[in-house]
Structure 1
Amino acid sequence: MYNKPVKLETLIHILKEKGKLRKIGGEAYLSRIIKNGEVEQDVEYYAKIVRDKACLRRIIEKDEDNVDDILDFVEDSVFEILETKIKPKYYYHIGKLIEKSIDILEECERDKSKVKEMPAGVNLLENVMPGIEKPGFYAFYVHPRIGKTNYILSIVEDAAVVKNIPVAILSLDTPKEQLSMWLLLYKAGVELSRQKQVFLKKDDWIELVSAAGDLCSAPIYIDDSPDIMLREIIQKAHSFKKDIDTGIIIIDHFELINAHSSSEDTNHDFVKSMKSLKVLAKDLDMAIVTFLNKFSTLDILKYHVDTVALISGDKKIFHTNRSRENT
């Protein structure tokens, strides 16, 4: 019954079952309350119905136009509806998260038992392959023992901090607080132990303060919404482009986008998603970078992205479909 108009018969039945109908004044009293309040109470619900029906009527009225116009109109209508259903504030600027990261590190200094695990090792992406350019669609698989996170952090630092290009991170698995902590430590160049734990020295705090300042002024935005579908990714990309003129979108744990798909053909789902995002990158004039968790998906996807990369120890394999003018 939530967010729907109250039906008198249903409400009377429920109250009778609970033995509370007589206590509130009976059917006559309840009828008066609902009759007097139904206009204000239900206006939002019925307004939504009117809006949705109007949208459908506009689509029907387009039946005499050419197919391309109809498709463009439907696409715009879908994004308009999605924007009303998605949470108004689903992403966070890194500046709002860094302060909490500093607080956590200070707490760890006071109590070593609360030391958090962090990604170990530093591998700069620019030392491995050419820079990321827009428009373009990229897919990376980094072997777990190397540290995928560092490649993500390297892209973010180079683009947002060094080049001031707005970067949006869609983290489908890692919480935004943890990701902001990793960014802070990475930017500060804090040395990590073999146990993947942070032991800060006095000099580290100077670097951390400097890194925090750089990150807070950088155009970095994090969205850690879980369980999102491809259509939501597309909608978010349009919003990022409109709101902050995003140049690069990074999608971690890309396979999770299709985790709730009803299709049994996983490979087909991946290819479909990749094709859609490749078109999206071109339409929005941005770079979309995806990181994969499964090595087996690389061979399937290499013909559907601009650049695919396998990074495993000393083994670095790249397959690109970009023209020489764009490489």
Structure 2
Amino acid sequence: MKKLFCFQLCCICLTAWMIVSCQVKRPDNVIPESQMEDLLYDYHMAQALGDDLPYTENYKRVLYTEAVFRKHSTTEAMFDSSLVWYTRNTDVLAKMYERVSNRLRTQRDEINHLIALRDKKPKTTVPGDSVDIWIGQQLNLLTGMPLSNRITFTIPTDSNFKKRDTLVWEVRYQFIEGKPDTAHAAIMAMQIVYENDSMISHTKRILDSGVQRIRLQSDTLGLIKEVNGFIHYPTEKSVRTLLVDRISLMRYHCTDTLSAAAKDSLQADSIQTQGKGSSGSETQVDSSKTKSQPRLRPEELNKRSNEIRQIKPEQLETEQHIQQEKLQMQRDRRMNRRQQVSGSASNKR
């Protein structure tokens, strides 16, 4: 047993020695890998800042680079000699630059997000048939006071917006001190402006806590130019707090077969037009000259219909969601009418 244990221990020590000996030995005058990674990150940031300078301020590029070397307590000569050694060891340099690239990419995304929040404009939206394009805050408190009585947004479009897009704005409202009267109800409105300067909009009065939605779509107005909207909570004598959260603005691409149906109808109209004579009366077609079409069995008819239109799962889910939104809007309208009737009746009393 002792011999076996000694043999295993020797094998382990030999394996560890081989691993250590196979590793690349870094000279003492070369900057360590962790420090070199931070140095490369700051160096490339300084180079990017220098590239954006105007011609009259090119001298600042050297100052940016010297500031990086002072930050890491090194010199340009040490940096260059270390970079030569890392260039000869491409595996180490490739892994190090991969980490540096990830850090630069993350920093770029954070800067773009801050710029979008500052300018109240979103970054380029994500492509897809069902995408949430809301970039504002998810939690807001409205008190009716002049500085906290409104939420507004304006979203310009980009290449990911398509014709006949549907936009659904959903917000959850919570009246903390009880629901307000009809004169001080919150107002929710959304508007779509198209490239031909046409507009469609919808406005809702919010009297109860719960989730409210606005859905807008146009089949004939073309491409969308921008989407804007607001939530306004009017001032009351006593301060009432309205909590607004769970905000989403869903964009749905149209995936139905309306365009295909339009093409089919145009082809049918052209065929019907060709069947008319020059005087406008329809020409008689000799049935004996027409080729007899074989009758199809029900199985073949079903197969052809399935080949004509194959509904994708995501398309079916989108259409079902749109139908649910239509039903919800109808219920909301009926509920608002009932509340208006009951409110007017109580005022008369």
TM-score interval, smaller chain: under 0.3
Whichever of the two has the greater Rg, that structure is 2
Query: TM-score if structure 1 supplies the norm length?
Result: 0.23
Q: Which structure: greater strand fraction?
A: 2
Query: TM-score if structure 2 supplies the norm length?
Result: 0.22
